[in-house]
Structure formats: structure tokens, C-alpha cells
């Protein structure tokens, strides 16, 4: 069985947070999975804008995981805003920060943030032998107000929200602590046959940009370009991410996509 959940958010309740390329990201990925990886359209669920609430994304992840058995191939993509926020748990993260993605209804509260811990709870249900690839074309840093100049014509935004002052201040104090250690990879990824491809390092931002007069996330654009290159067939996931990094470096984009997870999956082909 092959199943995919794709969530892309261009429009948030506050227009200042709007992005441009996230829906193109998930539509492009859906087309790639159907045409080149033999996914059935009926087994791909797409959530966009107001439909990509926290509740709907969690429901979609459970749909993705339900009934999974050894040999199945599962795929999840999130394109939208990401953030870090101070952990409210008494026994929280070693770095005292929660890494979150920002659903449509995100408002900087625990109730609306989709945390790495919640992904852990869902991933932990997967049986051995299931291959799960997760692409997160979003930010996981706290330098949220900074924007970069485009080296090519177009729009360049960062996929991370500017936090309220009190949250930004607390996060800065946590990061300044000598005991702060960034650990933003869910534990389940290390235990299961699961790989996470993220748009950037934890202290960087992912670009929402324009390529050939069309909006896309920089990670998604170059990932699909590398996977679809007929002249040079795609290698392992690790090699593909390396090619994406070279493409971004060539056009001087200040982000470095990462891959972490199961060695078997990272050293294998993309489905």
C-alpha cells in the first residue's frame, strides 16, 4: 500500500503571515507521486489553507498510519510556517523548546501548535517494516523577522511566523543559556524506518520563493527537480538531499536542507 498526506498553507487568518508557494508544493508533489511513483490519487489526501487545521492534520496522520503493515510506503509533506516556542512541560525538551509546525489555526498556544511530541505519538504506532518519508518545507528557527534578498527575480519570504514579544523574549533567553541543546528530531524517527527531510537547519529559515515565475518552497522545488531528473537518475535519499544543497548553494540561498532518521531508508531510493 502507498498512501500520502500533503498539507500546504498559503493563507493564514492574519494576512501578514501569508505565503505563496505552499499549495503549489503539495500539488506538485501529488503529481510526482502519481505519475512517477505509482501512488493512486484516491490514496493521497491534500489539506490546504483553512482545511489544514491542527485537528485535520492530526486526523490525516492517523488516516495515514491506520492499517499500515510491513512493506507499506507512507509519505507526509507539510509546507507552511514552522516555529520554536518555549516548552510548557515540566519534563520537556532538553533545550526547553518545542519545535512546532503552524497549522491554519495556530495562535502560539499549546492547544493550536502541532508539536514534535504529537508526531512521536502517531509514529510510534507504526509497525516495523513500514517506510515513512516526511518532508517539512518550513522553518525551525527563531530568527523569524529576518528576510533575505533574492539572488534571482521574484519573491522571497521565510516560512516562519514572527512570535508575540513575550514568547520571542523567553525563547531568546532559553537559546542564550549554555545548557541549551537543539534537538528537533522526534525520537520515533530514530527507532522506526522513517526519514525526515527538512528545509533547513534548526537555526535557519526555509525560503518561500519564485522559480520560473511560479511560487514554490525552495526545498520542494529542488527536491522534485532532483527526483525527476531523467538524465541523471535519482540516487539515495541522502544523495538527493546533497544535490538539493548544491543547487541552493549555487544560487546563494542561505538554507541547508537536512535528512535524519533510519540509515536503511536514508541510504535507499525514494520509494
At 137-186, the pLDDT tens digits run 997 532 222 232 333 434 467 776 766 545 554 444 444 443 433 334 44
Task: Say if 142 falls within a structural domain.
Answer: yes
d(CA 1, CA 70): 10
Q: What is the pTM of this model?
A: 0.85
Task: Say if 130 falls within a structural domain.
Answer: yes
Task: Say if 220 falls within a structural domain.
Answer: yes
What pLDDT, on a 0 to 100 scale, did the predictor assign at position 146?
28
Domain that includes residue 182, residue range: 2-266
Mean pLDDT of all residues in 230-257 = 90
Helix (H, G, I), strand (E, B) or coil at 129: coil
Task: Say if 271 falls within a structural domain.
Answer: no
Query: Is the pLDDT reported for residue 199 higher than 80?
Result: yes
d(CA 200, CA 59): 26
The CATH number given to whatever domain includes residue 204 is: 3.40.50.1460
Task: Say if 41 falls within a structural domain.
Answer: yes
The count of domains in the chain is 1
Task: Say if 76 falls within a structural domain.
Answer: yes
Query: Is the pLDDT reported for residue 99 higher than 80?
Result: no
Catalytic positions = 81, 139
d(CA 36, CA 95): 40
Closest CA to 185 of 168, 199, 202: 202
Task: Say if 87 falls within a structural domain.
Answer: yes
Task: Say if 85 falls within a structural domain.
Answer: yes
Q: 214: pLDDT confidence band, cut at 50, 70 and 90?
A: very high
Closest CA to 152 of 61, 213, 230: 213
Amino acid at each position: 500500500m502507498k498512501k500520502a498526506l500533503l498539507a500546504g498553507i498559503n493563507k493564514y487568518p492574519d494576512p501578514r503571515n501569508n505565503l505563496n508557494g505552499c499549495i503549489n508544493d503539495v500539488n506538485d508533489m501529488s503529481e510526482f507521486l502519481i505519475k512517477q511513483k505509482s501512488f493512486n490519487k484516491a490514496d493521497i489526501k491534500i489539506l490546504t489553507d483553512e482545511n489544514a487545521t491542527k485537528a485535520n492534520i492530526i486526523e490525516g496522520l492517523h488516516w495515514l498510519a491506520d492499517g499500515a503493515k510491513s512493506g507499506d510506503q507512507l509519505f507526509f509533506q507539510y509546507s507552511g510556517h514552522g516555529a520554536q516556542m518555549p516548552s510548557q512541560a515540566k519534563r520537556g525538551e532538553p533545550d526547553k523548546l518545542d519545535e512546532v509546525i503552524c497549522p491554519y489555526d495556530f495562535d502560539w498556544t499549546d492547544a493550536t501548535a502541532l508539536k514534535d511530541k504529537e508526531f512521536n505519538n502517531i509514529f510510534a504506532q507504526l509497525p516495523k517494516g513500514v517506510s515513512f518519508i516526511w518532508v517539512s518545507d518550513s522553518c525551525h528557527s527563531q530568527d523569524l523577522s529576518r528576510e533575505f534578498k533574492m539572488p534571482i527575480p521574484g519573491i522571497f519570504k521565510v516560512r516562519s511566523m514572527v512570535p508575540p514579544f513575550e514568547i520571542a523574549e523567553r525563547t531568546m533567553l532559553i537559546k542564550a543559556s549554555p545548557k541549551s541543546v537543539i534537538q528537533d528530531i522526534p525520537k520515533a524517527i530514530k527507532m522506526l524506518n522513517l526519514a525526515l527531510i527538512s528545509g533547513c537547519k534548526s537555526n535557519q529559515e526555509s525560503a518561500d520563493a519564485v522559480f520560473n515565475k511560479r511560487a514554490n518552497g525552495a526545498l520542494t522545488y529542488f527536491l522534485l527537480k532532483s527526483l525527476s531528473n531523467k538524465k541523471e537518475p535519482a540516487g539515495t535519499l541522502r544523495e538527493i538531499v546533497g544535490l538539493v544543497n548544491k543547487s541552493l548553494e549555487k544560487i546563494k540561498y542561505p538554507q541547508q536542507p537536512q535528512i535524519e532518521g533510519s540509515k536503511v531508508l536514508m541510504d535507499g531510493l525514494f520509494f
